[in-house]
């Protein structure tokens, strides 16, 4: 069922999702199979790298088979293989890379290594078929918080990034403190629906005037200090209020910085990406701010926000179209910069 389309096989294993996808002509998803290890890591309260690698190895062949079957293609139909090569957990990345290189070598297919953040941004090309660069992107995930000016498909200018914790990391750490479970983002999002976001005033860290960088490491301490002081005073702690107030503080900063970046660049298109892009308050508040400022906002559907291989296949397609390919020396780069 190739029908003259250019088919990319995408592979993603940078953290705790084993995912294989088939994407036609860059933006049409034929299959996007995701095997999440959340249940395995939940008991540890976070991702254990060694366990993640082992599970990627165990899951890869069934995820691959399922993706090929769902798409109704064989390896012969595949025109390109794209794989996340960084940043991420090195052992986890290596499983995806070894798989991609083996297929590329055996079936004589071109190979493209993809930066994970570029993949997250590309999720929006799948969701919004009309979207073209240039635009501004706010990438918020468990490992990254970046404001990026996307000049072209493969041209990125980083305007700001977190200096310490990523936004998703802050959600996960605060959820642990509040004993809400793992992963923290969705749990806080849910708990916050029952709480008052103005009940506790957590500090909004904006850094230097005009800075587009972020800092989220202090907010966990802020939440801990609040909990301790309430306990010392013998006052009751209502978890949904704390969750809602924390979430509001993080979202306030993200929205303010995104709007600052839009004003500075004069861009009238903003793309949201990464796992935290699934956050309901962030989506609502960003939509309101964008409407006020006359900016068109693009968000992926929740499934395309978190780690998946379709976004990697899409990114690989556009890299290949620009003549950017890799060879068998492609390696895993845990701290790869955009
Ligand atoms: O993009 P992703 O799947 O993995 C990384 O590249 O890091 O993002 C995972 C992160 C986790 O920190 C998770 O707590 C967060 O995204 N997340 C959310 C929500 N859903 C996932 N954070 C806030 N609200 C959500 N609804
Ligand atoms: Zn990610």
Question: Tell me: the pLDDT tens digits for 140-195?
Answer: 999 999 999 999 999 999 999 999 999 999 999 999 999 999 889 999 999 999 99
Domain ranges of the chain: 7-123+305-321, 133-300
CATH superfamily for 7-123+305-321 is: ATPase, nucleotide binding domain (3.30.420.40)
CA distance 295 to 279: 20
Share of the chain above pLDDT 70, in %: 99
Q: Above 90 in pLDDT, residue 317?
A: yes
Q: How confident is the model at residue 2 (pLDDT cuts 50, 70, 90)?
A: low
Indicate which ligand has the atom closest to the C-alpha of 243.
Answer: 1
Question: In CATH terms, is domain 133-300 a member of 2.40.30.160?
Answer: no
φ, ψ (nearest 5 deg) of residue 302: -50, -40
- What pLDDT is attached to residue 188? 98
Predicted local distance difference test score (pLDDT) of residue 1: 52
pLDDT at 256 over 70: yes
Query: Could you tell me how many helices (H) and strands (E) the chain has, helices first?
Result: 11, 10
pLDDT recorded at residue 29: 98
Check residue 226 and give its pLDDT.
Answer: 97
What is the whole-number distance in angstroms between the Cα of residue 103 and the centre of ligand 2?
A: 24
| Residue of the CA atom closest to atom 19 of ligand 1 | 185
Look at ligand 1, atom 18, and give the residue with the nearest C-alpha.
185
**Domains 7-123+305-321 and 133-300 fall in the same CATH topology:** yes
What are 234-249's pLDDT values in tens digits? 999 999 999 999 999 9
Distance 185 CA to ligand 1 centre (A): 6
pTM of the model: 0.95
pLDDT the model gives residue 38: 86
Atom 23 of ligand 1, nearest CA residue: 185
Determine which of 38-42, 142-146, 209-213, 281-285 has the lowest per-residue pLDDT on average: 38-42
For 132, other C-beta atoms within 10 Å of its C-beta total: 11
Q: What is the mean pLDDT of residues 206-232?
A: 95
Distance 199 CA to ligand 2 centre (A): 31
Whole-number average pLDDT of the chain:
96
Res. 212 pLDDT band, cuts 50 70 90: very high
Ligand 1 closest atom vs CA 169: 12
Q: What is the structure's pLDDT at 43?
A: 86
Q: Dump pLDDT digits (tens) for 52-95.
A: 999 999 999 999 999 999 999 999 999 999 999 999 999 999 99
Q: How far apart are CA 156 and CA 136, in angstroms?
A: 10
In angstroms, the Cα distances linking 56 to 8, 84, 111, 122, 316 are 20, 13, 20, 23, 21
Report residues whose beta carbon is within 6 angstroms of any ligand 1 atom.
15, 141-143, 168, 171-172, 183-186, 189, 274-276, 278-279, 306-307
218 Cα–ligand 1 center, Å: 19
- Lowest mean pLDDT across 3-7, 17-21, 85-89, 130-134: 3-7
Q: Which residues hold their Cβ within 5 A of ligand 2, which is an ion? A: 141, 307
């Amino acid at each position: 069922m190739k029908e003259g389309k250019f088919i990319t096989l995408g592979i993603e294993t940078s953290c705790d999702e084993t995912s294989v996808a088939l994407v036609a002509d860059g933006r049409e998803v034929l299959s996007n199979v995701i095997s999440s290890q959340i249940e395995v890591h939940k008991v540890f309260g976070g991702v254990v790298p060694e366990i993640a690698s082992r599970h990627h190895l165990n899951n890869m062949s069934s995820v691959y088979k399922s993706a090929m079957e769902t798409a109704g293609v064989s390896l012969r139909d595949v025109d390109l293989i794209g794989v996340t090569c960084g940043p991420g957990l090195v052992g986890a990345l290596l499983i995806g890379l070894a798989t991609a290189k083996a297929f590329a070598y055996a079936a004589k297919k071109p190979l493209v290594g993809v930066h994970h953040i570029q993949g997250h941004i590309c999720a929006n090309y799948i969701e919004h078929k009309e979207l073209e660069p240039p635009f501004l992107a706010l990438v918020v995930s468990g490992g990254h918080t970046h404001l990026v000016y996307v000049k072209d498909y493969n041209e990125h200018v980083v305007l700001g990034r977190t200096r310490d914790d990523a936004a998703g990391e802050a959600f996960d750490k605060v959820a642990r403190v509040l004993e809400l479970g793992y992963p923290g983002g969705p749990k806080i999002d849910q708990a916050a629906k029952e709480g008052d976001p103005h009940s506790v005033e957590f500090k909004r860290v904006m850094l230097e005037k005009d800075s587009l960088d972020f800092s989220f490491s202090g907010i966990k301490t802020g939440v801990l200090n609040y909990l301790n002081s309430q306990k010392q005073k013998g006052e009751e702690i209502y978890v949904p209020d704390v969750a809602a107030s924390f979430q509001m503080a993080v979202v306030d900063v993200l929205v303010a910085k995104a709007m600052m970046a839009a004003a500075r660049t004069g861009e009238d298109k903003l793309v949201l990406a990464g796992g935290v892009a699934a956050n309901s308050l962030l989506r609502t508040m960003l939509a309101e701010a964008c409407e006020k400022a006359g900016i068109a906002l693009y968000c992926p559907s929740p499934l395309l926000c978190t780690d998946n291989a379709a976004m990697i296949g899409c990114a690989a397609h556009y890299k290949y179209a620009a003549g950017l390919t890799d060879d068998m020396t492609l390696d895993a780069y845990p701290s790869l910069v955009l």
